[in-house]
Structure 1
Amino acid sequence: MKVLETDRLTLRWIEAADAEFIMRLLNEPGWLQYIGDKGIRTIEDANGYILKGPRAMYEREGFGLFLTERKEDHTPIGLCGLIKRDGLEDVDIGFAFLSSYQSQGYAFEAARATVELAKDIGIKRIIAITTKDNESSSKLLEKLDMQLEGYVTLPNDTEELKKYGLNF
């Protein structure tokens, strides 16, 4: 189901047919370094991730991480969306793109549209979390007018993360 469209991108619900892409993205060096190893090694693992992660969140919240693809050729290039995480009071924005599609403005384009979606569905505030060493994500969040508010540690984790916020 299509959720958002920008000049160059379509953001839509993740489907079972996207499992191969999900497996590839979740094993990218940047995903492993900044987000963490989700243990997705097979198509079956990727299908489980899709069902228990994004698809379950769509059902529960009406939003989640959306597959981001280029309009011109329908090539999947990343994920961007809204997430309701355990341990965080506010909805947060998340994004990850294949390395071959980074530094081309796609992440900002998708994230900006996702911020507008949050406003449209009545969310009054969003946050974002990122590792302290993920400079490119921090710069993108600042470009979205999000302000560094401090640090947070998620349940069942030990790493302190940067926390950004934006009120509407």
Structure 2
Amino acid sequence: MIIAETDRLILRQFEAKDIHTLFLLNSIPEILTYIPGEPMTSVDQAEQILSDIIIANYEEFGYGRWAVEHKADKKVIGFCGPKYITEFREVELGYRYLPEYWGQGYGFEAGKSALESFPDFGVHEAIALILLGNKGSENLVKKLGMEHRNRDRFMGHKVNVFHKHL
């Protein structure tokens, strides 16, 4: 299911064919510098994340992390989208991209489009949870109009919490 389109990107629900990209997004050390948890070591783990978290979120909430597909090469280059964070009782804008697509404006393009789609799913506020030191991610959410709200803890790590009314 397509959620949104930009000039260069399609935001859509993840599908089984996206397993390899999910694995890469959760196993490449460079991507995981500011992501809590251990890197994945098998594609089976990506399959489990797809079924137990992503698809389960689609079924429970009607939304979840969305695949970001690059129109020019039809390749999934990352994810961007909402996730209900139980500990905060709020919806987070989360995103992650393959390194070869960093620094080209895809994060802003997908993030803007994702946030514009949140109200279609009954979500009118969003947070971003960013591990301390992740200046690139902080700059992105500020560019998306999110404001620093406070510092907190998430998954055992200190995070800066950004917020936006949609």
Interval containing the TM-score (normalised by the shorter chain): over 0.9
- Measure how far apart 1:60 and its partner are: 0.5
1:16-55 aligned at under 5 Å gives the runs 16-55=16-55
Structure 2: segments with no counterpart, 5+ residues: none
CA distance in 1, matches of 2:115, 2:91: 11
CA distance in 2, matches of 1:121, 1:25: 25
Partner of 1:84, secondary structure, is strand
CA distance in 1, matches of 2:50, 2:30: 20
- Deviations 1:19-60, CA, capped at 9 Å, x for gaps: 111111111224322113355222211111111111110001
Structure 1 length normalisation: TM-score? 0.93
CA distance in 2, matches of 1:30, 1:59: 31
Structure 2 length normalisation: TM-score? 0.94
1:164 to 151, 162, 165: 162
CA distance in 1, matches of 2:37, 2:157: 14
CA distance in 1, matches of 2:85, 2:28: 22
Partner of 1:80, secondary structure, is strand
The farther-off stretch of 100-109 and 17-26 is 17-26
Aligned counterpart, 1:73: 73
Aligned counterpart, 1:56: 56
* Residue correspondences, number: 166
CA distance in 1, matches of 2:41, 2:18: 14
Kept after mapping to 2: 8 A contact 1:153/1:161: yes
Partner of 1:64, secondary structure, is coil
Structure 1: segments with no counterpart, 5+ residues: none
Change (3 A) 1:141 1:73: same
- Measure how far apart 1:132 and its partner are: 1.1
Structure 1 residue ranges (4+ consecutive) displaced by more than 4 angstroms after TM superposition: none
Partner of 1:49, secondary structure, is helix
What do you get for the CA RMSD once the two structures are aligned? Answer: 1.3
Kept after mapping to 1: 8 A contact 2:62/2:121: no
Q: Percent identical across equivalent pairs? A: 30
Counterpart residue identity of residue 124, structure 1: H
CA distance in 1, matches of 2:62, 2:30: 28
1:109 counterpart = 2:109: yes
- Measure how far apart 1:72 and its partner are: 1.6
Counterpart residue identity of residue 156, structure 2: T
Partner of 1:32, secondary structure, is helix
- Deviations 1:67-111, CA, capped at 9 Å, x for gaps: 101112211110100010120121110000011100000011000
Aligned counterpart, 2:138: 138
